[in-house]
Structure 1
């Protein structure tokens, strides 16, 4: 008779489920409504849609598969380039691929996590930059004209970094208590959700 698995074995999965339950009422809530304080509005914007949340967590999960400085380099590159994308969105400079960039970021990052594909540093940086530009543009283009640009940008960049840290923390918990299979499972969920969004 097999011994039951320790409760901690299920902790990473429970954490992921809890994150999805907490954020599920916010799916596709990119209406532009919300706090009129610039910083608070910017901070809540990345939390207002499941597509953004899953992509940010996926960046953290993917970064945690690397070693040394890679773990922190990917999230930092993402946040910096996302700030540039946000600026492009704020000044209404057209960026045709932004919405598709968001959806493909879920599909590609999820697939990389699910199949544990290791890419070269230059390819990783290129993908992260394109995804960051798309997500940043979406945040910037939806900024209300009545709030401060710098405080709004600071808010969504901080929220993004915290979501990256959640992904890194989740990956470390999975490796410690449950193995990498839960990371691969989360990749399947993320890629599947991205694929669903691509359906016309």
Structure 2
């Protein structure tokens, strides 16, 4: 009996891994890199250039389609940015009806910073902070921008603020703490 159990024990994980790989290889199912506890960038598929992922239909549609809500466009811009497609992320944010949300401003800052325009990124982050000072994700990215500039004291101020928002166990705190300790990782 234990031989059967051992055989199944070894085969089930392999079968599940195979199924996961098969799903990941489906057309249009490439997953962007993650990076945020409450965001869906890790699970939103990326689409070809000029397209946007529409959650309702679960399809890639032309980015000029008017029935894709700003929330989907904003989330998709972040997915593109996390996948390293920074200019496309900015282009997607340019299609928003309301570009002045805390998320849109934060993601614009993120993509801009990743394109090497750190000071411009900081200005977008500060606009997001002005809309919601308790938005931990923007505090994390603002702190990372300060690390890039070598302004560790300002990064640590953001870390302290994040701690007051969500404690030391939230992803934003952990990620910024790591960036401060190991700046080469950002």
Same fold (TM over 0.5): no
TM-score bracket, normalised by the shorter chain, equals: under 0.3
Greater relative contact order: 1 or 2 (C-alpha under 8 angstroms, separation 6 or more)?
A: 1
Query: Could you say which structure has the larger radius of gyration?
Result: 2
Normalising by structure 1, report the TM-score. 0.24
